[in-house]
Structure 1
Amino acid sequence: MARLRVHAFTITLDGFGTGAGQRVDAPFGDGVEGLHDWMMPSFRGEGTGVDDAAFRAGEQDIGATIMGRNMFGPVRGDWPDESWRGWWGEDPPYHHDVFVLTHHARPSLSMDGGTTFHFLEATPTDVLARATEAAGGKDVRLGGGVATVRAFLSEGLVDELNLVIAPILAGAGERLFEGLDALPTGYRVASLVPGGSGAVHVQVVRR
């Protein structure tokens, strides 16, 4: 059965997945400089060890992706037009169907390399059903942002949550586990492994 997996989702030591003031020139907001330093060697093809393994695990056996509107781009509210086509250029790294949760739907966007973005106003359960069908028997990856991952966790839909805890403090922004008081009843920590970068890799799975 297809699973819903989160990979390489990085939070600060005090639990923030983004800082305050997200915008075009600061996609993750302020106060979180260095949040993703652990994966930079892998982006350059120089990654090693636990950090590189965590970076690459999210590419394995994934047939579709779900993300929130904030992960797709900085535009808020009604789309003024359809000129924003994502952060990734004309050949995004997904190469499959990507389902973007939004309160402001727009036509699907086909990109180079086989990526098609679908913009849906739907519940987590409904969008997961769409993504699972599109995945064709493979797993579905759940991307950000923080509110999107939190919404799926609150409904117990995430099968595997692979977090990275960066050795920094933000103090403000969006906390991943905010309001998830019932999380321990449905999930458990399966492993906790330090990486070579100083970040810690944590796997959380459903009970």
Structure 2
Amino acid sequence: MSDVRVHNLSISLDGFATGDGQAADAPFGHAGERLHEWMFATRFWNRMGGGRGGRGGADNAFASLHDPGIGAEIMGAGKFGPPGWQDNPGWRGWWGADPPFHTPVFVLTHRPRPSIEMEGGTTFHFLDAAPAEALDKAREAAGDQDVRLGGGPSVVRDFLAEGLVDQLHVVQVPIVLGRGIRLWDGLETLETRYDVEAVSTPSGVTHLTFTTKAR
């Protein structure tokens, strides 16, 4: 069976993975881009944008694990668009005509709409489904490849609470946000189910990897 993987989920020192006040011009609310500056500096990110240069090293190595072996993605409504996007029939996500996923993407929302086929192999499917049901559909679409759980933090937390995540990569960024949406709430003793490793890098971030313990 394919694995469920989370990659490059950045959180503040106080555990927030997005800030307060998400809007069309502020996808991460008052956090702005501060949670992701470490990634924007990597070669991986520059290549994604068609550019060259960027930093190598451990940050780049972790960031680059995002794509290989992924056959489908699951994301929450808040990652697909700002509050109220369901009322805009023309909203097709933040990413333009050719989103960076290039796989089927299953968007969890209480107000489903018809699927949207984009350039580059991305098709957005909209589901009102519990985590296990959504995962069944994503695994069917992914074939023998893995499923990436793309966020936001509420969706990742729900899947973690049900024991559905095999690999979790969290990047702790040395900032304090004070408000927003936290990742860890309600997940007491989560670490007992995983082998946990930490790697700190010159950028100031710490990469935390959680891998399901062998049974």
Query: Shift in Å at residue 10 of structure 1?
Result: 0.3
Match of 2:73 among 65, 79, 89: 65
Query: Shift in Å at residue 33 of structure 1?
Result: 4.8
CA distance in 2: counterparts of 1:123 and 1:148, whole angstroms: 10
Query: Shift in Å at residue 144 of structure 1?
Result: 1.0
CA distance in 1: counterparts of 2:182 and 2:67, whole angstroms: 25
Is residue 123 from structure 1 mapped to residue 123 from structure 2 by the alignment? no
CA distance in 1: counterparts of 2:121 and 2:176, whole angstroms: 38
What TM-score do the two structures reach when normalised by structure 2?
0.91
Q: Could you list the runs of 5+ residues in structure 2 that have no partner in the other structure? A: 48-53
Residues 17 and 182 in structure 2, CA contact (< 8 A), matched pair in contact too: yes
What TM-score do the two structures reach when normalised by structure 1?
0.94
- For residues 142-157 of structure 1, the aligned pairs below 5 Å read 142-157=149-164
Instruction: Classify the secondary structure of the residue corresponding to 1:147.
Output: helix
- For residues 160-199 of structure 1, the aligned pairs below 5 Å read 160-189=167-196, 191-199=197-205
- For residues 22-61 of structure 1, the aligned pairs below 5 Å read 22-31=22-31, 33-42=33-42, 43-45=45-47, 46-61=54-69
Instruction: Classify the secondary structure of the residue corresponding to 1:35.
Output: helix
RMSD: 1.4
Corresponding residue pairs, total: 205
Instruction: Classify the secondary structure of the residue corresponding to 2:79.
Output: helix
Residues 67 and 101 in structure 1, CA contact (< 8 A), matched pair in contact too: yes
Identity %: 51
Amino acid in structure 2 at the alignment position of 1:60? P
CA distance in 2: counterparts of 1:60 and 1:98, whole angstroms: 16
Instruction: Classify the secondary structure of the residue corresponding to 1:179.
Output: coil
Which residue does the alignment assign to 2:51?
Answer: none
Residues 22 and 83 in structure 2, CA contact (< 8 A), matched pair in contact too: no
CA distance in 1: counterparts of 2:55 and 2:71, whole angstroms: 24
Residues 104 and 124 in structure 2, CA contact (< 8 A), matched pair in contact too: yes
Residues 68 and 102 in structure 1, CA contact (< 8 A), matched pair in contact too: yes
CA distance in 1: counterparts of 2:123 and 2:33, whole angstroms: 31
Is residue 104 from structure 1 mapped to residue 106 from structure 2 by the alignment? no
Bigger proportion of residues as helix = 2
Residues 161 and 203 in structure 1, CA contact (< 8 A), matched pair in contact too: yes
Residues 26 and 32 in structure 2, CA contact (< 8 A), matched pair in contact too: no
CA distance in 1: counterparts of 2:117 and 2:102, whole angstroms: 10
CA distance in 2: counterparts of 1:36 and 1:85, whole angstroms: 23
Runs of 4+ in structure 1 displaced over 4 angstroms? none
Which residue does the alignment assign to 1:11?
Answer: 11
Amino acid in structure 2 at the alignment position of 1:198? G
Q: Please identify, of 90-99 and 22-31, the stretch whose mean Cα deviation from structure 2 is larger.
A: 22-31
Query: Shift in Å at residue 34 of structure 1?
Result: 1.5
Query: Shift in Å at residue 32 of structure 1?
Result: 5.4
Which residue does the alignment assign to 1:2?
Answer: 2
Residues 75 and 108 in structure 2, CA contact (< 8 A), matched pair in contact too: yes
Match of 2:145 among 115, 138, 141: 138
CA distance in 2: counterparts of 1:194 and 1:122, whole angstroms: 37
Q: Could you list the runs of 5+ residues in structure 1 that have no partner in the other structure? A: none
Residues 39 and 47 in structure 1, CA contact (< 8 A), matched pair in contact too: no
